Structure formats: structure tokens, C-alpha cells
Amino acid sequence: MALAALAALMSGLSAGCGGGAVPAAREAALPASPTATQPTGDRPLAGRTVVLDPGHNGGNAAHPEEINRQVDVINGRKACNTTGTRTDDGYPEHAFTWDVAARLKPILEGMGAKVVLTRPDDKGVGPCVTERAAIGNEARADAVLSIHGDGAAPGGHGFHVITPGLLPGHNDKVIKPSRRLGRDIRDAYRAGTGMPYATYTARDGLQSRTDLGGLNLSKRPAVFIECGNMRNEGDAAKMSDGAFRQRMATALAAGLKRYLT
């Protein structure tokens, strides 16, 4: 499927299937905010494009040959995608991330943003991390948010935000805006959910990494959020609750609004 058509499809919550050929990521100069639509008081994100990347996908586990395919992430090769983790009660990460993204999308659209999803549902396979990054690049996103749940040791709890580490000559222009995006997401998420910073990794809820293809290949400001540890009983209870996932989505919207305005 052509990337332009895929991006158009994913701007809505219509049915479809992720995957397909991996398009080349196209670099665009920063900033690249549209000017045709001006923000107003009730539509503060008018003219802004946000790409939401709900981690993993519901069909990944049934297609290991596809998701285990190795792809280039600039500083090495990694699996196209993974199955993700799950709570001890069986609530899968791919369903969690899809639900949060589906709740977050209309909040952002209500503020005037154009929202593009990297997958159209929770039934498909992939897309690969390379294609997810390319969707953000092609959309000339003002912000890219990849949503995840962690699978750490059960004794650790809390959330953290991951920002891209520097790969000279590849992502130099997005390091600073991505760090600002990360701080705004972190602050809003903590305030809106009451969840603490992760006790088992990162520092003050922030971590920089160069081993994540979705961040390495992004030419737009991009961050990952590990919304909690799905293997921790307390975090899992929150992440399995629809009302709390709505709080998460509302908090993430607040962070994106803070960054984009």
C-alpha cells in the first residue's frame, strides 16, 4: 500500500490491516507546522499533526515469520516488531495501547489536531518499526507519541518516558524538541494520573535510548511512554481499568497540548 494512502487510512479509526512494504523515511526540515488553519481558544491544536503509535498489534503472535524479520534501525538490526507483554491476568499490551490511542485520538481532534495512527485496528500484523517511523516522517508530524506498557520485574512500578539518543548525522535536529516533548508528556502524565516515576529504570521518569528503531528513524519530535509496568499488580490493575485508561489518555492529551502550544 502506498504510504500516502496508508497515512490517510490511519487518520481515521476505520478497519484495515497494517503491514506491507516498508516505505523510505523522508527527512523534513523542522519546524513544519501548517499555517492554513490557525489555532483558536477552543481549538488550540488547529493546524497541528500528531502521530499516535499504539505499540505492537493483535495479530503479531500468529505471524512470527513477519514480526521476527530483521530490519535496519541505523545502528544495528532488530526484529520488525514484537508481541509485547501482558498482565498476569492476561490483558495484552497490544490491546492496552490500542485502547489508550483510541481514547486519545478524539480528545486531540476536539482540540483541532489532525491525528494519524500507525495502525488502523488491533487485528493486524505490524507494521514494522521502520514503517511506523516513516508514517510520522511522511505526515510531517509536529509530535509523535508511541504508547506502550512495560514488562519489567513485578517488584518495579511506575511509568517513564523514553526520548531518542543522539545518532550524529541522523537525528540531530530532533533531539532537543524530543526532549522537550518528553518532559511535557512526563509532567502532564504524572499530574493527570498520579502514577509515580518508574522505580526500576530511568531517572525522574525520563530515559534516553538509541536501541529503539521507532525513535532512531524518526525525523520528527518523537517519544515513547511506558505507561506502567504490566507485570506489577498495582500498575496492572490501573492499566486494566477503562476509567483509568481514560485518565491516561486525558493526561497524554494535556502533555501534547502543552508541547504544541
Confidence at residue 223, expressed as pLDDT on a 0 to 100 scale:
98
Contact between 101 and 159 (Cβ < 8 Å)? no
By C-alpha distance, which of 194, 192, 167, 161 is closest to 179?
161
pLDDT in tens, 28-85: 344 444 444 678 889 999 999 999 999 999 999 999 999 999 999 999 999 999 999 9
Domain ranges across the chain: 3-9+47-260
**Residue 117 contacts residue 27 (beta carbons within 8 Å):** no
pLDDT band at 3 (very low <50, low <70, confident <90, very high): very low
* Residue 220 contacts residue 51 (beta carbons within 8 Å): yes
H-state helical runs in 42-114:
64-67, 93-110
Q: What's the pLDDT score for residue 240?
A: 98
Instruction: Give the mean pLDDT of 136-154.
Output: 98
Domain 3-9+47-260 has CATH 3.30.300.30: no
| Active-site amino acid positions | 226
Angle separating helix axes 93-110 and 242-260, nearest 10 degrees: 50
